[in-house]
C-alpha cells in the first residue's frame, strides 16, 4: 500500500515514514503542501496523511483540491490543532479522519487500516438507493432529495446521513456514530458529531413540516418520521 505523507516537520515526517515502512507500507514524503498536491494528483496512492499547517499550501486547501480530482482517496489530517472547530473544518475540507499531535504510531496504524478497509469495501448488499419516508439517497450519483427537492451535502454529511438511513428508527449513540462513520473513538471533549447532526437538520428538516432527525436525550440520535 502506497501512502503519501505531507509533513513539514522533518523529524515527525521521518518517524511516520519509518513506522509505516516497518509495518509493510510504502511511504512517500513531501515537506510542503504544493509538492504534496502535485504528488497526490500525478501519482497513485492508497491514502494520504497530511498536516494542516504547511508552507506554500495548507493542508485544508490541499485536501479540498485533491478531493476535486480524486474524491475517493482516503485522507487523514494530522495536526496539533484539536478543538471542535478545527476538526469540523478538517472534515468539511474532505478529510476522512483526524488525529491530534502528539499521537502514538499504533493509533495512526489503526486509523490507516480502518480507512483502507472501508475504501476497499463495495456497497452490494442493499442496492444503490436508500429511502426513508420522502427522503431518498442515490449511492452511485451521490444525489440526495426529499420530496423531490435536491439537497446538497458535504462528503461527511453524506456519510452520516447514509449511516442513519441504513439504521433508520434506531437510536444511534455518539460513540457508535464516531466509530462507524468516522472510524474513530468518540472524544467526549468535543461535540463535532452534534455539529454535523445540526448541519443535517438544517438541510434535511428545516424546510419541511415533518421532521426526520431527532435527539434522544442522554442516548443519541434517531432517523424517524414523527
Cβ atoms 52, 77 nearer than 8 A: yes
Mean pLDDT across 83-112? 82
Task: Decide if pLDDT at 186 tops 60.
Answer: no
For residues 34 and 225, the model is more confident at 34
Mean pLDDT across 97-117? 85
Beta bridge partners of 214: 222
Task: Decide if pLDDT at 125 tops 60.
Answer: no
CB atoms within 10 A of CB 133: 14
Task: Give the predicted TM-score (pTM) of the model.
Answer: 0.58
pLDDT at residue 27, as a whole number: 92
Distance in angstroms (rounded) separating the CA atoms of residues 194 and 209 = 22
pLDDT at residue 201, as a whole number: 93
* pLDDT single digits (tens) 155-180: 889 989 999 998 888 899 988 888 88
* pLDDT single digits (tens) 49-73: 999 889 999 888 998 888 888 877 8
Which domains are delineated in the chain? 2-119 (3.40.50.2300), 129-223 (1.10.10.10)
pLDDT at residue 82, as a whole number: 63
| H runs (alpha helix) in the chain | 10-22, 33-42, 59-69, 84-93, 105-119, 155-166, 174-181, 192-204
- Give the pairing type, strands 220-223 and 213-216: antiparallel
Amino acid at each position: 500500500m502506497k501512502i503519501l505523507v505531507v509533513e513539514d516537520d522533518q523529524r515527525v515526517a521521518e518517524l511516520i515514514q519509518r513506522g509505516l515502512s516497518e509495518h509493510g507500507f510504502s511511504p512517500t514524503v513531501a515537506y510542503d503542501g504544493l509538492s504534496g498536491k502535485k504528488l497526490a494528483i500525478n501519482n497513485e496512492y492508497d491514502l494520504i496523511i497530511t498536516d494542516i499547517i504547511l508552507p506554500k499550501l495548507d493542508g485544508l486547501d490541499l485536501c479540498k483540491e485533491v478531493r476535486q480530482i480524486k474524491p475517493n482517496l482516503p485522507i487523514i489530517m494530522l495536526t496539533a490543532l484539536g478543538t471542535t472547530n478545527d476538526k469540523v473544518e478538517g472534515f468539511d475540507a474532505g478529510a476522512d479522519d483526524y488525529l491530534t499531535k502528539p499521537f502514538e504510531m499504533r493509533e495512526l496504524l489503526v486509523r490507516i487500516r480502518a480507512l483502507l478497509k472501508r475504501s476497499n469495501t463495495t456497497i452490494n448488499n442493499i442496492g444503490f438507493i436508500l429511502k426513508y419516508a420522502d427522503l431518498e439517497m442515490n449511492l452511485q450519483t451521490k444525489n440526495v432529495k426529499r420530496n423531490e427537492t435536491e439537497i446538497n451535502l458535504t462528503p461527511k454529511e453524506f456519510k452520516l446521513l447514509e449511516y442513519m438511513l441504513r439504521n433508520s428508527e434506531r437510536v444511534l449513540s455518539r460513540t457508535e456514530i464516531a466509530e462507524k462513520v468516522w472510524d474513530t473513538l468518540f472524544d467526549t471533549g468535543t461535540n463535532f458529531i452534534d455539529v454535523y447532526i445540526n448541519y443535517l437538520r438544517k438541510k434535511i428538516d428545516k424546510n419541511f413540516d415533518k421532521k426526520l432527525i431527532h435527539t434522544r436525550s442522554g442516548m443519541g440520535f434517531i432517523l424517524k418520521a414523527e
